[in-house]
């Protein structure tokens, strides 16, 4: 009882000490530095004079410069700075220094006394005014800036979180595609598969005459504009070196993967074997009798043989990979078509008949081995666990060096990649999910699970009958995904079900 009273008295004593001043520690000394993360919210629609009182006892920020006026593309007079002092979240803000802004460049480490300045937001850009060079102490120069890879969707959703900070938009391309010889000058819509943001280049910028690339990484600073109703972010490059060209050639995938049924519904007395299928879409007219293709699946369940890493990739065969040759039939641009078992039901034996759909190749894989490789099997795609996958090849011959025109993986486990030497695994191609070269480091990564190729779909709940619909937008003029594919698990009824359930929505081809 004495112990309980002692602890209760101690707790009340702490409460009386801490309760006098919110969020204050007894005997604590406030830091002289405040994070940009905490400065930005002080602006609530009207100008704010910054003081130690509203800065929580601080008077300065310790920041890194990310702007560079040497390319003549920054807003005049502004020095863009950022830090990540609070919660490791990068936040930026602009400091108005007039003509002195050109004296500071990317990588300069500064301590800026902001007390006495004014936080204001004319024309949409939050900035601090009323400061001079005497408020700034340069600590060092030439510091490296950590890469902050951000999608356009993130910027569009919360533009204030990225304003005045340095970001990189990876695998960006312009929509519409620039005409031959068209330059960066002016406003262009930059798309990275997640959304579009305006890339602004002043006509007087030193790199305004640079030819607009087909595909590139764009390093730049976000600046906001406001028309009184909405905030519109734009991206500004600093110099010509902020464009890291990835491709100057348009490569169009003739066929893309748009969905699949890997785990049909089955009652205890029924079998799911021979009812799996893959949905694809043509991005151009194809006569398979003249230009044969192949679809290969991989199943890397623990019991699948041969075991170990796939030394011959998609051509491994056995219970690891299974090939369907497409050598007859035709499709038109935008057509859905199907490859799989002879069941031709939307979700297993008791479900709706979809034999009227465009089936380019089917056979009973429970009795017939794959075309060239692949043992007789009860399922060509896994239901759960280790990685499974689908690849489309613009040739009926597939070997260890064959590169698919489209590829998709579900799950990530199993022995599916070895860095070597020799390097081995399942080859990928450039898609919305995968990159033959790391888009930031430009290092070769030709296989799934190599480098940044770690994305995969997830397995839905087994034995229910989900069609895994992949919704996205593929633009044949640009030769790329302007909206990356996303996974929607469409539950198909065990009895009934019609083809419109899996064709009405999903991937669009433009």
Residue 427 located in a structural domain: yes
Shared domain check, 318 and 229 = no
Residue 132 lies in a domain: yes
Cis amide linkage into residue 421, ω under 30° from 0 = yes
Same domain, yes or no: 123 and 164? no
Judge if 418 and 310 occupy the same domain.
yes
Same-domain status, 236 and 271: no
Indicate whether 475 and 340 sit together in one domain: yes
Q: Which of 76, 109, 140 is the last residue of a domain?
A: 140
Residues 101 and 205 both lie in one domain: no
Same domain, 288 and 205: no
Among 280, 275, 389, which Cα is nearest to 341's?
275
Tokens 């491709």, residue located: 247
Count: domains in the chain: 3
312 falls within a domain: yes
Domain presence at residue 10: no
Chain-centroid distance of CA 49 in Å reads 40
Per-position pLDDT tens, the chain of length 510: 333 333 333 333 333 333 333 344 455 567 899 999 999 999 999 999 999 999 999 999 999 999 999 999 999 999 999 999 999 999 999 999 999 999 999 999 999 999 999 999 998 999 999 999 999 999 999 999 999 999 999 999 999 999 999 999 999 999 998 888 999 999 999 999 999 999 999 999 999 999 999 999 999 999 999 877 788 999 999 999 999 999 878 889 999 999 999 999 877 656 778 999 999 999 999 999 999 999 999 999 888 999 999 999 999 999 999 999 999 999 999 999 999 999 999 999 889 999 999 999 999 999 999 999 999 999 899 888 899 999 999 999 999 999 999 999 999 999 999 998 999 999 999 999 999 999 999 999 999 999 999 999 999 987 788 999 999 999 999 999 999 999 999 999 989 999 999 999 889 999
pLDDT for res 303: 85
Find the domain containing 72 and state its range: 32-140
Taking the C-alpha atoms of residue 252 and residue 284, their distance in angstroms, rounded to an integer, is 9
Which tokens sit at 273? 């074997």
**Pair (464, 396) in one structural domain:** yes
Distance CA 395, CA 58 (A): 66
> Are residues 80 and 67 located together in one domain of the fold?
yes
- On whether both 388 and 469 belong to a single domain, the answer is yes
pLDDT of amino acid 455? 96
**Residue 269 confidence (pLDDT):** 55
DSSP 178: P
Q: Which residues contact residue 140 at a Cβ distance below 8 angstroms, ignoring those fewer than 6 apart?
A: 108, 109
Tell me the DSSP string of 128-158. Answer: EES--GGGEEEEES-------B--HHHHHH-
Answer yes or no: is 113 within a domain.
yes
pLDDT at 252: 93
Asked if 333 and 380 sit in the same domain, the reply is: yes
Nearest to 209, CA basis, from 231, 181, 189, 174: 181
Assign residue 173 the CATH number of its domain: 2.40.50
**Nearest C-alpha neighbor of 95 from the set 61, 129, 132:** 129
Shared domain for 340 and 438, answered yes or no, is yes
Residue where one domain finishes, among candidates 214, 247, 280: 247
Whole-number pLDDT of residue 339: 98
pTM: 0.84
* The pLDDT of residue 227: 75
CA distance 430 to 409: 14
Residue 15 within a domain: no
State which of 223, 247, 271 marks the end of a domain. Answer: 247
Domain membership flag for residue 26: no
Q: Are 77 and 132 within 8 A, CB to CB? A: no
Residue 395 lies in a domain: yes
pLDDT for 397 = 95
Could you tell me the CATH number of the domain that includes residue 440? Answer: 2.60.40.1260
Q: What's the confidence (pLDDT) of residue 106?
A: 98
């Amino acid at each position: 009882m004495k112990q309980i009273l002692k602890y209760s008295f101690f707790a009340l004593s702490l409460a009386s000490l801490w309760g006098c001043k919110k969020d204050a520690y007894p005997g604590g000394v406030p830091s002289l530095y405040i994070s940009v993360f905490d400065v930005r919210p002080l602006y609530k629609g009207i100008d704010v004079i910054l003081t130690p009182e509203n800065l929580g006892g601080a008077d300065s920020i310790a920041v890194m410069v990310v702007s560079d006026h040497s390319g003549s593309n920054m807003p005049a007079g502004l020095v863009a700075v950022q830090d990540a002092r609070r919660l490791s979240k990068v936040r930026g803000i602009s400091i108005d220094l007039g003509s002195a802004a050109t004296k500071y460049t990317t990588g300069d480490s500064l301590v800026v006394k902001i007390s006495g300045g004014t936080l204001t937001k004319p024309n949409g850009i939050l900035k601090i005014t009323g400061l001079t060079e005497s408020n700034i102490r340069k600590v060092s120069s030439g510091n490296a800036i950590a890469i902050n890879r951000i999608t356009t969707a993130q910027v569009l959703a919360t533009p204030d979180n990225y304003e005045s900070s340095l970001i990189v938009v990876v695998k960006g391309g312009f929509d519409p595609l620039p005409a031959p010889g068209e330059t960066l000058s002016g406003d262009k819509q930059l798309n990275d598969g997640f959304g579009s943001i305006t890339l602004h280049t002043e006509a007087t910028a030193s790199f305004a005459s640079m030819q607009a690339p087909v595909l590139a990484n764009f390093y730049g600073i976000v600046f906001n504009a406001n028309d009184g109703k909405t905030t519109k972010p734009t991206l500004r490059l600093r110099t010509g070196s902020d464009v890291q060209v990835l491709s100057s050639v348009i490569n169009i995938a003739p066929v893309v993967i748009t969905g699949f049924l890997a785990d049909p519904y089955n009652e205890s007395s029924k079998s799911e074997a021979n009812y799996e299928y893959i949905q694809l879409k043509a991005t151009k007219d194809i006569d398979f009798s003249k230009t044969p293709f192949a679809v290969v699946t991989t199943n890397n369940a623990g019991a699948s043989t041969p075991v170990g890493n796939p030394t011959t990739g998609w051509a491994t065969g056995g219970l690891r990979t299974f090939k369907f040759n497409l050598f007859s039939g035709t499709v038109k641009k935008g057509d859905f078509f199907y490859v799989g078992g002879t069941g031709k039901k939307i979700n297993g034996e008791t479900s709706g008949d979809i034999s009227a759909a465009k089936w380019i190749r089917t056979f009973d894989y429970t009795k017939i081995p794959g075309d060239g490789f692949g043992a007789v099997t009860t399922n060509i795609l896994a239901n759960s666990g280790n990685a499974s996958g689908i690849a489309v090849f613009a040739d009926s011959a597939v070997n260890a060096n064959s590169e698919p025109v489209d590829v998709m993986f579900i799950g990530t486990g199993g022995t599916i990649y070895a860095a070597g030497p020799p390097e081995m695994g399942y080859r990928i191609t450039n898609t919305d999910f995968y990159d033959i070269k790391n888009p930031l480091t430009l290092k070769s990564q030709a296989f799934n699970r190599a480098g940044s190729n770690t994305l995969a779909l997830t397995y839905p709940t087994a034995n229910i009958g989900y069609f895994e619909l992949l919704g996205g937008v593929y633009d044949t003029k640009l030769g790329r995904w302007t909206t990356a594919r996303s996974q929607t698990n469409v539950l198909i009824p065990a009895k009934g079900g019609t083809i419109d359930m899996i064709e009405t929505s999903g991937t669009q081809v433009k």
